[in-house]
Structure 1
Amino acid sequence: MDKMKNVSEKELTNFPVREIGPYIVTKLIGEGGMGKVWRAWRISEGSFKKILAIKTSKSSKKYIDLFMNEAKISARFEHENIVKTFDFGKTDDAFFLVMEYIRGIDLKEFILNVKNIPIDVFFFIIDRILSGVIYIHNFEGRQLVHRDINQKNILISWNGNVKISDFGITLPQHGDFDPFGKIGYVPPEVILGKGWSQLGDIWCIGVLMWEMLTSKKLFSGKGKEDLKKKILSCNIDPPSLFNKSVSEEIDKIVMNCLSRVPESRYISAERLQEEIRRTMSNLSIKPMYQEDFSLFISDHFSERIKKEDKEIAEEEAYVSIYAVEKNVKNIETKVENKITSKNSSSPSYYIFSPGDQKKERHHTEKKNDSGTKIRKIKRKKRDEKIFFTSSILGFVLGLTIGVFKGAYEIKSAEGLFKKGVDLAKERNFGQAKEFFQISADISDLREVRNIIDRLNTNYGKND
């Protein structure tokens, strides 16, 4: 992909960047009851960049406890239909959870844009959701219940995968602590105070299936109490009333999941998945594969895919430069502090320029009474001076090299490198490469050459 070409200087300076731990956060992509979800980046050694999603918690103890629960459970999940958790940490003002970033959309956006979802697509998505739910229900024998299966928590990637997210209230069934869930998907028995069981998740999947087949909300009302009354009434029309392509067999599956009595529903997610697959076979519906679903998505969301690809390319360009500039500032500060510390312990110490060195040598040679001793002291200071000055560029460029260049050469390479960074920010990548090349020739630093290689890869050697 032709990354960075569409990045303007204005765009580079106006990203809403913040840092959470070692992560660079670039965009708010979601917000829920317990916190916010951000798109973020991690830059590691060798300028390797990884795009991630970061969820931050609200500050109240109730939400922090749920957040900690999500971190402990989701970090151990390993399933292709479940969003993977990589890290957990705390900043000064919030806890955060680091997850895989899904390039794609949630089921809500999918339903809004596709409208009449083909039956084979419907079966593909539901089968993948059920695979994830089966894994959760059987995880470590803990009888977990997700409790929050809804359109926003089902993610669909551009490559055709389907993943379940958000495990903040995923807890064992019939526990002392029994969070409610999203009201439009809460089963009748929970509203009546009987608590969640795994059969409650079957109800949630039934609501999802009904909404996918009709492109409508199953329960809507003026407020929570109105919604509760409608759920408890269970006055539900079959999907076929709104979608003539829905067969009687599919109606039966959906309405079974939406039974008011939990024991009348499918006894497990495994049993529901078996029935889904058996019905597909009976109706002679050819199974869809992930590659087929990916093509379907590409046909319906081509502009949306381009938009996200462009956003991510712009962010990747920005965080690369942001990381370099941050490294420059951090290392310069460290070196300045070290020099300041040295000055405070030895007031006569300072960093010499080449002109200063010449003057100092001339001044020293005129001191006949202690010339030899003073020259030794000055030579030692020059050696220290060259070491510290050389260190500045070595650290600024994020490297450690075994043999330090001369102070004058290193300073020149540093200036050329910074000029290249400024030109890259202005999208003048051709000239930027020239400055990086000269800096690399002077300093002979591998990482500068890596930057040049990356620019050549993205723009070609003649751009």
Structure 2
Amino acid sequence: MAGTTLTLTPDGFRGRVLGKYEVLCRLSTGGMAEIFLAAQKGLAGFRKMVVLKQILPDIRGEEEFVRMFLDEAKVTAAFNHPHIAHVYDLDVADGELFLAMEFVPGATLVEVARACRTAHEPIPIGFSLMAVRDTAVALNYAHAFTDPLGRPSPVVHRDVAEKNIMVTYEGVTKLLDFGIAKSLARAGRTAVGMVKGTSGYMSPEQIMGDPLDARSDLFSLGVVLHECLTGMRLFYAKSAEAMMNAVLSGDVPPPSRVNKQVPPELDAIVLKALAKRREDRYGTTLEFARAIERAVGPRIWHPEQSSELMLRLFSERRDQTRLLLMSGTGDGSSSETQVAQVLARSVEAPEPVPPAPTGLPQISS
């Protein structure tokens, strides 16, 4: 299917080593960072696929971008949630910072929308409900996060959009890219007048530069659900200023105006999430998720159903991904021999005398 395959042509990045990771290829380049697929290799054929994120060369010396990069690592390092892509490592190699993150084999909601459009079919409502419900639960985890020491450390994502929500080939939703996330404990750091986010998805208060809370991410997720249900951009204009004005003052039509399969109760949930005043929205993304479950619970797809759709839409891409991963598999015989030697030495070594007890106790944008 057009637009759903990976380019497997070896590039100039293959074989590059960053710390304990070996790059297989570059996956993408964004406004701030470039993304690589890499392998962490160890003894006895140990191999873990990861995604490496590195600041673009031309902005590595800019303090603001370095600070955002470090903030992403600090904000997400302690996260442990099934619907949030894990961060494993923050390191520096040859003077260059990089993040090692979970490799999520699948596609973003942007790519799913594009694939469905190419196939001349709508995004199934049940699929959209599953992806948005799961993302809402993941966001609530971040919004109510408490660190391992028991200290409340709530985090606002600030860039919830289809491009940052993936569904794996197994039908599991993953929220990505906390690159501009803000810990509310350090919320005063962003410069006055600096608006960060994706145009068309930012909440009215985010556009106005007001302090943000969980309800800002809720608004953005409401945009995502509206667009998945209709297959159309909700706020669209040729200029960023016109786009912001549409968010601030434009009317939001119910999704059923475009998609007659959307029931009235789901219309009401979407419109409440998209209220201009944050006080008129749901208080948390978890409330939003539970409202969806109560209203249209039987229509929410299970991961198995979503997996069937993903495999149908992206079968060629999945196969090419597997080829790419196989191409990065090295011969583990040498390391296996080393392990065997270590095991042999441990068997042959005399049993040590036990020490005396001391008593010490990771839709297009």
TM-score w.r.t. the length of structure 2 is: 0.80
Which of the pair has more CA radius of gyration? 1
Q: Which runs of 5+ in 1 are unaligned?
A: 1-9, 325-393, 403-463
Q: Report the equivalent of 1:73.
A: 75
Matches within 5 A, 1:439-454: none
The question of 1:150 aligning with 2:161 is answered yes
For residues 276 and 10 of structure 2, what CA distance do their matches in structure 1 show? 54
Q: Report the equivalent of 2:127.
A: 121
Q: Report the equivalent of 1:364.
A: none
8 Å CA contact 1:146–1:167 kept in 2: the answer is yes
For residues 223 and 93 of structure 1, what CA distance do their matches in structure 2 show? 38
1:265–1:12 Cα change, 3 Å? closer
Q: CA deviation at 1:228?
A: 1.4
Q: Which runs of 5+ in 2 are unaligned?
A: 1-7, 147-151, 343-365
Matches within 5 A, 1:21-420: 21-58=19-56, 59=60, 60-115=62-117, 116-140=122-146, 141-173=152-184, 175-178=187-190, 180-281=196-297, 285-316=298-329, 320=330
For residues 125 and 101 of structure 2, what CA distance do their matches in structure 1 show? 31
Q: CA deviation at 1:172?
A: 3.1
AA aligned opposite 2:308: L
User: Deviations 1:120-159 (Å, cap 9, x if unpaired)?
Assistant: 2222111111110111111013232111111111111111
8 Å CA contact 1:234–1:260 kept in 2: the answer is no
For residues 91 and 296 of structure 1, what CA distance do their matches in structure 2 show? 40
AA aligned opposite 2:163: K
Q: CA deviation at 1:29?
A: 1.3
Q: CA deviation at 1:180?
A: 1.9
Between 1:221-230 and 1:18-27, the stretch displaced more is: 221-230
1:287–1:262 Cα change, 3 Å? closer
AA aligned opposite 1:149: V
For residues 51 and 200 of structure 2, what CA distance do their matches in structure 1 show? 26
Q: What secondary structure, in the 3-state scheme, does the structure 1 residue paired with 2:253 have?
A: coil
AA aligned opposite 1:293: S
Q: CA deviation at 1:220?
A: 2.3
Q: Report the equivalent of 2:360.
A: none
Higher relative contact order (CA 8 A, sep 6+): 2
1:78–1:13 Cα change, 3 Å? closer
Q: CA deviation at 1:308?
A: 1.7
Alignment RMSD, CA only? 2.6
Q: CA deviation at 1:162?
A: 0.5
AA aligned opposite 1:143: P
User: Deviations 1:36-94 (Å, cap 9, x if unpaired)?
Assistant: 11100111012322111111124121111111111112110000000011111012242
Q: Which has the larger helix fraction?
A: 1
For residues 259 and 132 of structure 2, what CA distance do their matches in structure 1 show? 17
Q: What secondary structure, in the 3-state scheme, does the structure 2 residue paired with 1:24 have?
A: strand
AA aligned opposite 2:188: D
TM-score w.r.t. the length of structure 1 is: 0.64
Percent identity between the aligned chains? 28
